[in-house]
Amino acid sequence: MTEGTGQGGRGVIWVLSGSPGAGKSSVARALLARFPFGLHLPIDDLREMVVSGIAHPTLDHPPEAVRQFALARTAAAQTARLYAQEGFAVAIDDVLWPADLTFMARHWEGLDVRPVRLYTTLEIAHERNRTRTNKTYDTATLIPLIEGLYPQMPPGIYREAGWAVVDSSTLTLEATVDALLRLKWPA
């Protein structure tokens, strides 16, 4: 097991972004298994707790979907803070842009936050989406999102914003987690 605490005995908050099919949820679960205390906060799971009126993501970003994503991200950020302050390693996963991290990070002052853009080739993203079993709906509905989001999320914009970028195209799940744990973070 990996040491789970960052500065002052507090937990680390990992923020995993990538297009659908990048492996965010799988990596988050495998990463957290390496810590004595770990909490996974997938934004999709928070959003899917909406019983009526859920607005699903589309490439044209309807206002209600934007509002619901903002609510889920705020809830995840606040929950992450509570758990990290108690020594948990926390992983939040979502399709995030660098500006989204700025929105969420206002809840994390003084905490150890580690943003990572998981990158794969487009072909690998499609294959992982095709074979995934962690969704309760037909994942073929994500194909247009993968196609549309992939070119909008070049790794360079994440690097420029201070995110780590890990290309997991040819890595196993465990090797991807090892790569994340080897990353160097500012103290």
Stretch 165-171: mean pLDDT, rounded? 94
What pLDDT is stored for residue 4 in this prediction?
Answer: 52
- Pairwise CA distance, residues 22 & 158, whole Å: 15
Asked whether residue 139 is assigned to any structural domain, the reply reads: yes
Asked whether residue 1 is assigned to any structural domain, the reply reads: no
For 134, list phi and psi in degrees, rounded to 5.
-95, 10
Asked whether residue 24 is assigned to any structural domain, the reply reads: yes
What pLDDT is stored for residue 177 in this prediction?
Answer: 98
What pLDDT is stored for residue 59 in this prediction?
Answer: 76
Tally the domains of the chain: 1
Stretch 156-172: mean pLDDT, rounded? 95
Instruction: Render pLDDT for 131-155 as a digit per residue (tens, 0 to 9).
Output: 776 666 666 667 777 888 888 899 9
Q: Which domain holds residue 102?
A: 7-182
Q: Which amino acid is at 136?
A: T
**Could you tell me the pTM of the whole model?**
0.88
Asked whether residue 2 is assigned to any structural domain, the reply reads: no
Asked whether residue 106 is assigned to any structural domain, the reply reads: yes
What pLDDT is stored for residue 126 in this prediction?
Answer: 77
- Pairwise CA distance, residues 97 & 111, whole Å: 20
What pLDDT is stored for residue 57 in this prediction?
Answer: 77
Asked whether residue 144 is assigned to any structural domain, the reply reads: yes
Domain CATH for 67: 3.40.50.300
Per the listing, tokens 């990290």 go with 84
- For Cα atoms 130, 158, 102, give the angle at the middle one, nearest 5 degrees: 105
Asked whether residue 187 is assigned to any structural domain, the reply reads: no
Q: Are 172 and 123 in contact (CB under 8 A)?
A: no
